[in-house]
Amino acid sequence: GAGVSQSPSNKVTEKGKDVELRCDPISGHTALYWYRQSLGQGLEFLIYFQGNSAPDKSGLPSDRFSAERTGGSVSTLTIQRTQQEDSAVYLCASSHGETNQPQHFGDGTRLSIL
Protein backbone atom coordinates (compact mmCIF):
# COMPACT_ATOMS: atom_id res chain seq x y z
CA GLY A 1 0.00 0.00 0.00
CA ALA A 2 0.95 3.65 -0.24
CA GLY A 3 0.88 4.49 3.46
CA VAL A 4 2.08 3.15 6.80
CA SER A 5 0.01 0.12 7.74
CA GLN A 6 -0.56 -1.02 11.32
CA SER A 7 -2.26 -4.13 12.62
CA PRO A 8 -4.40 -4.94 14.40
CA SER A 9 -6.41 -1.72 14.42
CA ASN A 10 -7.93 -2.67 17.76
CA LYS A 11 -6.77 -5.13 20.41
CA VAL A 12 -8.52 -6.01 23.65
CA THR A 13 -6.71 -8.33 26.02
CA GLU A 14 -6.62 -9.32 29.65
CA LYS A 15 -4.10 -7.95 32.11
CA GLY A 16 -1.00 -10.11 32.23
CA LYS A 17 -1.15 -11.31 28.62
CA ASP A 18 1.52 -10.53 26.03
CA VAL A 19 0.60 -8.53 22.92
CA GLU A 20 2.37 -7.97 19.63
CA LEU A 21 1.70 -4.93 17.44
CA ARG A 22 2.81 -4.73 13.82
CA CYS A 23 3.92 -1.84 11.63
CA ASP A 24 4.54 -2.00 7.89
CA PRO A 25 6.27 1.25 6.86
CA ILE A 26 6.23 2.96 3.49
CA SER A 27 8.46 1.08 1.07
CA GLY A 28 11.97 2.56 1.00
CA HIS A 29 11.65 4.42 4.31
CA THR A 30 14.66 3.51 6.42
CA ALA A 31 13.59 5.37 9.57
CA LEU A 32 10.78 3.93 11.69
CA TYR A 33 9.34 5.30 14.94
CA TRP A 34 6.94 3.97 17.55
CA TYR A 35 4.88 6.43 19.61
CA ARG A 36 2.17 6.05 22.23
CA GLN A 37 -0.87 8.28 22.72
CA SER A 38 -2.56 7.91 26.12
CA LEU A 39 -5.56 9.79 27.44
CA GLY A 40 -4.27 12.74 29.40
CA GLN A 41 -0.63 12.09 28.43
CA GLY A 42 -0.56 13.16 24.82
CA LEU A 43 1.89 11.65 22.38
CA GLU A 44 5.19 10.22 23.60
CA PHE A 45 8.16 8.72 21.77
CA LEU A 46 8.98 5.06 22.41
CA ILE A 47 11.70 3.84 20.03
CA TYR A 48 13.46 4.71 16.77
CA PHE A 49 14.88 2.34 14.16
CA GLN A 50 17.32 3.20 11.39
CA GLY A 51 17.31 0.14 9.17
CA ASN A 52 17.26 -2.87 11.46
CA SER A 53 19.09 -1.27 14.36
CA ALA A 54 17.54 0.72 17.19
CA PRO A 55 19.96 3.49 18.15
CA ASP A 56 17.40 5.11 20.44
CA LYS A 57 15.30 3.06 22.86
CA SER A 58 15.14 5.87 25.38
CA GLY A 59 11.36 6.16 25.36
CA LEU A 60 10.48 2.57 26.23
CA PRO A 61 8.67 2.87 29.58
CA SER A 62 9.78 -0.44 31.09
CA ASP A 63 11.60 -3.68 30.29
CA ARG A 64 8.21 -5.22 29.46
CA PHE A 65 8.37 -3.28 26.18
CA SER A 66 10.56 -4.43 23.31
CA ALA A 67 10.64 -3.93 19.57
CA GLU A 68 12.40 -5.38 16.59
CA ARG A 69 12.64 -4.67 12.91
CA THR A 70 13.66 -7.23 10.34
CA GLY A 71 14.74 -6.80 6.74
CA GLY A 72 14.71 -3.04 7.18
CA SER A 73 10.94 -3.12 6.80
CA VAL A 74 8.26 -4.54 9.12
CA SER A 75 8.53 -3.80 12.84
CA THR A 76 6.84 -5.42 15.79
CA LEU A 77 6.32 -3.85 19.21
CA THR A 78 5.85 -6.43 21.97
CA ILE A 79 4.43 -5.72 25.40
CA GLN A 80 4.84 -8.52 27.91
CA ARG A 81 2.67 -9.04 31.00
CA THR A 82 0.38 -6.18 30.03
CA GLN A 83 -0.89 -3.76 32.69
CA GLN A 84 -3.93 -1.50 32.59
CA GLU A 85 -1.70 1.57 32.24
CA ASP A 86 -0.51 0.15 28.91
CA SER A 87 -3.93 0.97 27.42
CA ALA A 88 -3.31 3.55 24.69
CA VAL A 89 -3.13 4.07 20.96
CA TYR A 90 0.22 2.88 19.62
CA LEU A 91 1.30 4.77 16.52
CA CYS A 92 4.00 3.95 14.03
CA ALA A 93 5.62 6.47 11.68
CA SER A 94 8.23 6.19 8.97
CA SER A 95 10.40 8.59 7.01
CA HIS A 96 13.19 8.71 4.46
CA GLY A 97 16.78 8.74 5.64
CA GLU A 98 17.83 10.25 8.92
CA THR A 99 15.73 11.80 11.66
CA ASN A 100 15.08 15.26 10.20
CA GLN A 101 12.49 14.31 7.61
CA PRO A 102 8.68 14.58 7.57
CA GLN A 103 7.15 11.56 9.26
CA HIS A 104 4.25 9.59 7.83
CA PHE A 105 1.96 8.11 10.46
CA GLY A 106 -0.12 4.95 10.46
CA ASP A 107 -3.65 4.91 11.85
CA GLY A 108 -2.49 3.25 15.07
CA THR A 109 -3.46 0.25 17.14
CA ARG A 110 -5.92 0.96 19.95
CA LEU A 111 -4.90 -1.32 22.82
CA SER A 112 -7.29 -1.90 25.71
CA ILE A 113 -6.19 -3.90 28.74
CA LEU A 114 -9.07 -5.27 30.83
Site for other proteins, rule CB under 8 A:
33, 35, 37, 42-48, 55-56, 58-59, 89, 91, 93, 99-105, 107-108, 110
Q: How far is the CB of 65 from other proteins (least distance, A)?
A: 14
Q: How far is the CB of 32 from other proteins (least distance, A)?
A: 10
Instruction: Give whichever of 52 and 105 is closer to other proteins, judged by the CB atom.
Output: 105
Q: How far apart are alpha carbons 5 and 30 in whole angstroms?
A: 15
Q: How far is the CB of 73 from other proteins (least distance, A)?
A: 19
Selection from 86, 3, 104 nearest residue 37 by Cα? 86
Residue 61, CA atoms < 13 Å, CB-side half-sphere: 17
Instruction: Give whichever of 45 and 80 is closer to other proteins, judged by the CB atom.
Output: 45
Instruction: Give whichever of 19 and 88 is closer to other proteins, judged by the CB atom.
Output: 88
Q: How far is the CB of 106 from other proteins (least distance, A)?
A: 9
Instruction: Give whichever of 19 and 91 is closer to other proteins, judged by the CB atom.
Output: 91
Secondary structure string (H, E, C) spanning 64-106: CEEEEECCCCCEEEEECCCCHHHCEEEEEEEECCCCCCCCEEC
Q: How far apart are alpha carbons 29 and 66 in whole angstroms?
A: 21
